[in-house]
Amino acid sequence: QEYTALKLKVKTWADKAGETINGLKLEGANFYLVPATLRPETMYGQTCCFVGPKINYGVFKVNDNDYFVITNRAARNMAYQGVFAKEGNIEQVAEIQGADLVGTLVNAPLSIHKEGVRVLPMETVLPTKGTGVVTSVPSDSPDDYATIMDLAKKAEYYGIQKEWAELEIPAIINTPSYGDKCAEFLVKKLKISSPKDTKQLEEAKELAYKEGFYQGTMVIGEFKGEKVETAKPKVRKQLIEAGEAFVYSEPERKVVSRSA
C-alpha cells in the first residue's frame, strides 16, 4: 500500500503532551503529527486530526530539527524508506498516549482552516495501519463524518471543546450520484448513526472511494474543474515538492476485516 504521509506541524501542545515535550529541552525543534492518507486531493477539507486515545505514540527524531509523532511500527517502516537521517536507525525520544495528545493544535497543509485544526480522539483508529494517525476529511470520508458528529454530540464525555469538532466542512469534490459532500450523503442514505456502525461504514467507504475517484470533479483549489483522477497525482506532487508530505509505503499484510 502506498500512502501519502502528511506533515502536520504542532502549533500548541495539549497540556499533558506539552509537559512531556518540554521535559525534553529540545529548543527550536519542530514536531509533526504524520497521518497516512490515500486521498491527497481531499486535503483542502481537513478539519481535525485523529489519534486512537488508547494507542501509544512515539516521538521519533527525523533529523537535527524535526521529530515525528507516529506509532513505533510506522517508525520502523520509515527507517528503511529514507525518511530518517540515518538509514535503518530509529531514535525515539519520548512516548505519549493518544488521549494526552487530544486538544493539540496542528497546522494542516492545504486545509481551508489556516488557523490550524485540533487533534481529536477516534476509537476506531487501527494501530496496525498507516502511522496510527489519521487526518479527518468529513466531506469525503464517511468514517470521519460519523466520528465528528459523535464527538460534537458528546463533547463533554470525550473531554473536548465542541467547537473543535464543528469546524466548517467545505465541499471538495462533486459527484453525479452523491452531490458535493458524499460522506454526509452516504451516512444518511445508509442510516449510519454512530462510528460503531462498522459494516455500513465499510460499505459507505467503498462507495465513496469509487464514486469520488471515477466520477468526481474538484470544486476547490488549484485544480478546480479537473477530474479527481487527474488532480490527485498533481496535488500529491505539489505537497511533496513543498516538503509538506512524503511517500510512505507499507509492506503488504493480510487484510483483517474491521468488523471481525
Q: Can you give the binding site for ligand ZZB, defined by CB under 6 A?
A: 36-39, 42, 125-126, 129-130, 132, 134-135, 137, 140-141, 205, 208-209
* Residue 63 or 214 having the CB closest to ligand ZZB: 214
* CA gap 45, 232 in Å, rounded: 14
Do residues 100 and 16 touch, judged by C-beta distance below 8 A? Answer: yes
In the bound state with ligand ZZB, the residue whose beta carbon lies nearer, of 59 and 208, is 208
The three cell numbers locating residue 174: 462533486
Q: 140 or 184: whose CB is closer to ligand ZZB?
A: 140
Nearer to ligand ZZB, 104 or 175 (CB): 175
Strand 92-97: give its sheet, edge to edge: 92-97, 56-61, 66-70, 30-33, 8-12, 105-107, 117-121, 48-51, 133-136
Q: Smallest distance, Å, CB 118 to ligand ZZB?
A: 16
Q: How far is the CB of 28 from ligand ZZB (least distance, A)?
A: 30
Sheet with 245-249, strands from edge to edge, namely: 36-37, 2-6, 245-249
Give least dist CB 2 to ligand ZZB, A. 11
* Residue closer to ligand ZZB (CB basis): 36 or 83: 36
Min dist. Cβ of residue 244 to ligand ZZB (A): 15
Least Å from the CB of residue 173 to ligand ZZB: 8
Residues 6+ apart with CB under 8 A from 44: 110, 111, 112, 170, 172, 220, 221
Task: Return the closest-CA partner of residue 81 out of 43, 39, 131, 46.
Answer: 131
